[in-house]
Amino acid sequence: MTRTFLSRVVRSLLPILGFVFSLSTFAQQGYPSKPLHLIVPFAAGGAVDTVARVIGARLATQLGQPVLVENKPGASGDIGADAVAKAAPDGYTLLVGANGLATNMTLYPNLPFNTLRDFAPISRLGYAPLVLVTGSSQPFKTVRGLLAWGKKHPGQLTYASAGNGSSGHLAGALLASTADIQAMHVPYKGGAPALVDLIAGRISFMLLNPLEVLPHVKSGRLRALGISGDQRLMLLPGVPTLAESGLPGFEASVWWGLLAPAGTSHEIVARLNVETAKALADPAVRERLTSLGAVITPSTPDQFSTFMHTEIDKWAGVIKTAHIHTD
């Protein structure tokens, strides 16, 4: 056996040896060996915060380490997201992100981070389709009725949202564009005052997450006309989807996903992906999330990455077509 042949064998083994060494090092580190921090870029008590706390509690049990939920609200979720983008890529600081990660890429041209470049997707967690609701005093009883009324009375339909660039604003703009109707957007400083005017009949309709509308639908103060997802909502089984109501392919939802800073090792991302899927399969977790109107959708990191690319492109088109600005 020649020295040249031996050197070739050694060179061919180097990548394999390096991989084995990296796995060994990863195992020796015993990840996780200290508490994890889940950053929620919104205030406590909202849907993103609730999802984070439900998932975080289960992950803590599985990983054998505390999982601390930290709220860093502000700038439509950008402050918390930026904190994670700039954190050490060691798997101990994670982001529970929402659809603003996609829409803010177009709404805010001067973002301090890039959603596609500065994060390592771990898993999609789930989504909640928005519910198209109207006040019980309004004349429309169905989605088709609403659209027909809008075409007969151009410029008289109004829809409210929690503010410019919010999920309700963008979904309303998509609805108007898809259905080819005129509907004037009325932005409010938060969802609560908008709901007051919707219930009072001063606003034609809104698109809201199930958590916000269910109590009012059950009390009869609001009428649910359609679900903006690809399937009916378990909590409102009698309400058809917008696709069923004459708007094929229409979909608008609030969604949540788990992300790490870019540069986090593949081994840590893979471990967290497996643990997240396991947490989402837990009966108690599933029951809690579905009771909020959520649809659970675990994914691989690549699937979540593809989903975010699609969302960014989709809503960029809506924002540009409708000339939506946040100021």
Domain ranges of the chain: 34-127+255-321, 131-227
Q: Are strands 131-135 and 36-40 parallel, antiparallel or unpaired?
A: unpaired
| C-alpha–C-alpha distance, residues 228 and 194, integer Å | 19
- Span 113-132, average pLDDT: 97
**Ramachandran angles phi, psi of 317, nearest 5°:** -65, -45
Within 10 angstroms of residue 249's Cβ, the number of other Cβ atoms is 8
Tokens 């200290």 belong to 34
Pick the CATH number of 34-127+255-321 from 3.50.50.60, 3.40.190.150, 3.40.1160.10, 3.40.190.10: 3.40.190.150
Query: ∠ at Cα 187 (181, 189), nearest 5°?
Result: 160
- Span 44-73, average pLDDT: 95
Q: CATH 3.30.420.40: does it fit domain 131-227?
A: no
- Residue 270 tokens read as 């893979």
- Residue 327 tokens read as 């100021």
The fraction of the chain above a pLDDT of 90, given in percent, is 80
Side chain identity at 308, as an amino acid letter? M
| C-alpha–C-alpha distance, residues 210 and 291, integer Å | 10
Residue 290 has pLDDT above 50, yes or no: yes
| C-alpha–C-alpha distance, residues 267 and 276, integer Å | 14
Q: How confident is the model at residue 115 (pLDDT cuts 50, 70, 90)?
A: very high
Question: What is the per-residue pLDDT for 29?
Answer: 61
CA 305, 85, 58, 213: dihedral to nearest 10 degrees?
-70
Question: What is the per-residue pLDDT for 11?
Answer: 52
* Sequence-distant contacts of 284-293: CB under 8 A, at least 24 apart: 284/58, 285/54, 285/55, 285/58, 288/54, 289/51, 289/54, 289/126, 290/234, 291/235, 292/47, 292/50, 292/128, 292/210, 292/211, 293/128, 293/129, 293/209, 293/210, 293/211, 293/214, 293/233, 293/234, 293/235
Domains 34-127+255-321 and 131-227 in one fold: yes
Question: What is the per-residue pLDDT for 162?
Answer: 87
Q: How confident is the model at residue 150 (pLDDT cuts 50, 70, 90)?
A: very high
What pTM does this model have?
A: 0.85
